[in-house]
Amino acid sequence: MTVVIGFEGSANKIGIGIIRDGEVLSNPRRTYITPPGQGFLPSDTARHHRAVILTVLKEALEQAGLKPADIDCVAYTKGPGMGAPLVTVALVARTVSQLWGKPLLGVNHCIGHIEMGRLITKANNPTVLYVSGGNTQVIAYSERRYRIFGETIDIAVGNCLDRFARVIKISNDPSPGYNIEQMAKKGSQYVELPYTVKGMDVSFSGILSYIEDAAHKMLSSGQCTSEDLCFSLQETLFSMLVEITERAMAHCGSQEVLIVGGVGCNKYAEAFKFCIDNGAMIAQAGWEMFRSGQVTELEDSWITQRYRTDEVEVTWRD
């Protein structure tokens, strides 16, 4: 039996999970939350991660009922993500690897989401819609790569939602997207917004600019409510994503869709606790990689903020 511990901290969540042959033994995490109207800065996020990471590591081991000697491999998020938080987590993972005398593995964050999704849903070969604060991609597996069929050409869908939440001062607790979803349920009027699909790609910056400019005017004049704007923005963004996902499915002849990433926590979607960034997903991808013979040498254990999903050779799939 192979046991892998995974360290995730590419954005505002720090998580450490332990996987044993497809079984999640533990998966504690902490979230850095800022006041309404504010985003999270890399330096502050990294400071938060440094303050809690050893506590989360202790929790992960205690919940799993394991000791360092029971661990076979240490996996960490190599990227993509925010530089300072990634460095913080990579540093701890490297240190743990050396202290425990265990091999190290740098994992692509997106592939962590995909492999966790495949494990939980038992999907065989799905078309993947990856939607989060920093990423928006439509992906399908072919010839040892996760191929990107379409993606955002500017900002990610989660970033668009988060920035709109700041405009109308929606709370960041537990997350802006969750609170937008709750408000959208109460919306009754659809406000027409720009719809921008370009072939297999999408663009969200124009929609954001439009709604940022129009929101206060429409709200102050009584044309619509905040709930109406949440409903309209959510419907428009998700319709764009459905269009490019359906097109990719038709191209691949796929019958399954796997939605991964933080925005996948929305009602329109995989199990909530595994859509959110978490350590178990890094452990699961690390488990697959380690079992196929991959390891990361210490001198190669850097991080990269721009780590493309299709850069990784998928040695664990046929």
Is 199 assigned to a binding site?
Answer: no
Alpha-carbon 222 to chain mean position: 36
Rounded to the nearest 10°, the torsion over CA 264, 265, 267, 268 is 0
Is 212 assigned to a binding site?
Answer: no
Is the CA virtual torsion 44, 10, 282, 136 positive or negative?
A: positive
Report the candidate in 314, 315, 308 with the shortest Cα–Cα distance to residue 148: 308
Is 132 assigned to a binding site?
Answer: yes
Is 202 assigned to a binding site?
Answer: no
Is 59 assigned to a binding site?
Answer: no
Is 17 assigned to a binding site?
Answer: no
Is 109 assigned to a binding site?
Answer: yes
Angle between helices 176-184 and 226-252 (to 10 degrees): 100
Three-state DSSP at 59 gives helix
Tell me the HSE value of 148 on the side-chain side, using a 13 A CA sphere.
19
Q: Which amino acid is at 234?
A: Q
Is 134 assigned to a binding site?
Answer: yes
Asked if the bond preceding 80 is cis, omega within 30° of 0, the reply is yes
Is 197 assigned to a binding site?
Answer: no
Tokens 């697959």, located at residue = 288
Tokens 């190599």, located at residue = 78
For 142, other C-beta atoms within 10 Å of its C-beta total: 13
Is 21 assigned to a binding site?
Answer: no
Is 131 assigned to a binding site?
Answer: yes
Is 162 assigned to a binding site?
Answer: yes
Binding-site residues sit at 109, 113, 130-134, 162, 177, 181, 266, 277
Binding-site residues for substrate sit at 130-134, 162, 177, 181, 266
Binding-site residues for a divalent metal cation sit at 109, 113, 130, 277
